[in-house]
Amino acid sequence: MPEKSVVDVAKAAFKPVDWGQTKILVSPTANGSEHVRVGLTEYDPATPHEPHAHPGQEEVIWVLSGRGYTETHGEKIDLYPGAVAFIPAGMEHKTAAVGEKMQAIIIKGPVRDADGVLS
């Protein structure tokens, strides 16, 4: 069973991703989480991520700053500070910042997708 832990978000390092940068705060590899993955992502407006899906894995996008959108089935839904988007498991989506960087907490669960791949 994992032990409880506290992460100092300011001290956690960002890692580059194709659409900006991200910090993994809670995950199986970071601290032994068995059911949830939490990260802090900064989306770069110049590089939206491609449409993708997470089989068997739900996603929550909680916007802290900046503006953007998440798009599913051709429908864009505006994202702004205080907005929380829920993406059902397996739904194809893409998320992007508009005009400036958008910072969001990303929560996914379970930590393994339908194929058993660790996320």
Task: Locate 97 and state its tokens.
Answer: 């910042």
Give the pLDDT confidence of 56-106 residue by residue, as tens digits.
899 999 999 999 999 988 899 999 999 999 999 999 999 999 999 999 999
Q: Are 39 and 23 in contact (CB under 8 A)?
A: yes
What confidence tens digit (pLDDT) does each residue in 7-58 have? 999 999 999 999 999 999 999 888 888 899 999 999 999 998 889 998 889 9
**Residue entry with tokens 């058993």:** 116
